[in-house]
Amino acid sequence: MHYDNLALPLSLKSIQNMLHTMTLIADSGSTKTDWCLARDGEMVARIATQGINPFYQSDEDIIRILEDELLAQWPADLENAQEVFFYGAGVRPEMSVRMERLVGEVTQAARVEVHGDLLGAARALFGREEGIACILGTGSNSGLYDGTHIVQNTPPLGFILGDEGSGAVMGKRFVADLFKGLMPQWLLEEFKAATHQDVADVIQSVYRQPLPNRYLAQVTRFIHQHLQVEEVNALVVDNFCDFFRRNLVQYRRRDLPVKMIGSIAFHFHEQLARAAEMEGFVLCGVEQGPMEGLVTFHGSV
């Protein structure tokens, strides 16, 4: 009897992997990347690594993070990932091919796709339906989504020229109003006591230290604790009104639902809903992060 062509029994795990697609999904910001292994629309495992931003990081830096943090935590599981979908801040179309190559080298997945975080937000929020997808976190962004692509985008321009509605701009406006006497004096004293900073310290942090946008966004914690103050609440609502006026009006689609992702949108949901109503938009949903929606989206393909 010849055994050369006799198939050996497959393990249960091998059979499961043949029948089910294991998908690796990444939601990456500048400080943290959220990774999720999913099978047929269900989460299997989830970890976090440091952020990956191809705009600032070299190939060597990105490979090191993927190998030392991602691969080190999931050495066996990644062997079963047939496809990878990476959504990241700072990912521009011209960077996608480079990121796909780097992620593919480490994961060895047959299919790798890399997209910007705005498309990830749109897919998580709307699936395959059209709508206006927004991100409100340290920065802000928005896009008109046709169910497949972002077909129009008002450039956010960063917290100096734009980023209306973001944590950085909210913090910038609040700190400026505090020290210019546009907020109650007792609130200024409470801010100084809570942060151990006076006007000189604030100037130092904003103009002479790295990442002033993150510093200003951290001020939103203090703002959130004082929303009962009329002037504070009004500032927050006005910040969101600016976001609608200067970003969403350009799409000329007030008939479409608006959904948002991000820590600022999530924690200031009440003020955001009020601003949407004032500006004539229909806010239909707010999520803190996109991962659950992305797992559902890719599980239904």
Whether 112 and 104 have beta carbons less than 8 Å apart is answered as yes
E strand map for 106-243: 111-116, 131-136, 140-145, 150-152
Q: At 276, which amino acid appears?
A: A
Angle, in degrees to the nearest 10, between helices 167-179 and 185-195:
120
pLDDT band at 22 (very low <50, low <70, confident <90, very high): confident
Residue 95 has pLDDT above 90, yes or no: no
pLDDT band at 81 (very low <50, low <70, confident <90, very high): confident
Task: For residues 178-184, give the mean pLDDT.
Answer: 95
Q: Please report the pLDDT score of residue 301 as a whole number.
A: 64
Q: Please report the pLDDT score of residue 118 as a whole number.
A: 94
Residue 15 has pLDDT above 50, yes or no: no
% of the chain beyond a pLDDT of 90: 69
Q: Please report the pLDDT score of residue 114 as a whole number.
A: 94
- Render pLDDT for 202-212 as a digit per residue (tens, 0 to 9): 999 999 988 88
Q: SS3 of 166, please?
A: coil
Pairing of strands 42-50, 131-136: unpaired
Residue 254 has pLDDT above 70, yes or no: yes
Task: For residues 109-114, give the mean pLDDT.
Answer: 91
Residue 275 has pLDDT above 80, yes or no: yes
Dihedral, 14, 15, 18, 23 alpha carbons, nearest 10: -60
Q: Please report the pLDDT score of residue 299 as a whole number.
A: 84
Residue 12 has pLDDT above 50, yes or no: no
Q: What angle do CA 59, 60, 65 make, to 5 degrees?
A: 100
Q: How many CB atoms lie within 10 A of CB 295?
A: 23
Q: Output the CA torsion sign for 218, 223, 226, 227.
A: negative
Q: How many CB atoms lie within 10 A of CB 243?
A: 29
Quote the mean pLDDT of the chain.
88
Q: At 32, which amino acid appears?
A: K
- Report the range of poorest mean pLDDT among 38-42, 152-156, 176-180, 194-198: 38-42
Q: Please report the pLDDT score of residue 108 as a whole number.
A: 86
Residue 31 to residue 47: CA distance in whole angstroms: 14
How many angstroms separate the most distant Cα atoms in the chain?
94
- Edge to edge, the sheet with strand 22-28 lists 42-50, 32-39, 22-28, 81-88, 111-116
Q: Please report the pLDDT score of residue 79 as a whole number.
A: 73
Q: Please report the pLDDT score of residue 20 as a whole number.
A: 65
Residue 13 has pLDDT above 60, yes or no: no
Q: What angle do CA 141, 144, 150 make, to 5 degrees?
A: 85
Highest mean pLDDT among 26-35, 66-75, 262-271: 262-271
Whether 258 and 282 have beta carbons less than 8 Å apart is answered as yes
Please spell the DSSP secondary structure of 233-296, one letter per residue: HHHHHHHHHHHIIIIIGGG--TTSEEEEESHHHHHTHHHHHHHHHHTT-EEEEEES-SHHHHHH
